[in-house]
Amino acid sequence: MRAILIDPMIEGGLVTQGDFDVDRADVRSLYKILGVDNVERAGPLPNGDMVYVDGYGLIQANPGPFFMIEGWHEPLAGRGLLLGETRSGYMAPSRTPLRKAQAWVRFLDIELAGFEEFVDVMTIPGLEGCTTVIGSRPVFRKRGRHDT
């Protein structure tokens, strides 16, 4: 299946297109391509494509290296595979042209500093009242900088 591989582990980073052995209905087929045991998806991006990444990316002992992709709100750790998605939720060939993907991706010289807790109150459309959300979000810093 046509996909775009984002590899920050190669010196300087690499964004390349290829025909990968992806089973459209089984994310486990991505394990070998990405070199991971679990995958999560980031997206959808503006054109509906998804980036599949290591599901344990931020909770590893030394996460990274990191990249950002246009349309996603935070850095992603390790390799990523850019794929499309059908209306039924199955993986499909990427809609993104290679040149556009190369323009969308930035490789980052950062490291994970830790996590900060947050408490938000949100209103859910169609429901009365508010819901309290308690969680944590990653905090990043420039690689090698350890002052606060």
In this prediction the pTM is 0.84
Query: 77-134, pLDDT tens digit by residue?
Result: 999 999 999 988 899 999 999 999 999 999 999 999 999 999 988 887 777 778 888 9
Q: Does residue 76 sit within a domain?
A: yes
Report the mean per-residue pLDDT for the chain: 90
* Cα gap 104→106, rounded to integer Å: 7
Residue 95 sits in the same domain as residue 123 = no
Give me the mean pLDDT over the 37-62 stretch.
90
pLDDT bracket for residue 27 (50, 70, 90): confident
User: What contacts 85, CB < 8 A, 6 or more positions away?
Assistant: 43, 44, 48, 49, 50, 91, 92
Please check whether residues 87 and 126 belong to one and the same domain. Answer: no
Q: Is residue 148 part of a domain?
A: no
Asked if residue 81 and residue 26 are part of one domain, the reply reads: yes
How far is it, in rounded angstroms, from Cα 139 to Cα 2? 34
Q: Are residues 47 and 85 in the same domain?
A: yes
- For the chain, what is the domain count? 2
**In a shared domain, residues 74 and 45:** yes
Domain that residue 132 falls in: 112-142
Banded pLDDT at 25 (limits 50, 70, 90): confident
Q: Quick one: 97 and 117 in the same domain?
A: no
Give the model's pLDDT for residue 130: 82
Same-domain check for residues 120 and 94 = no
Whether 39 and 91 share a structural domain: yes
Whole-number pLDDT of residue 148: 52
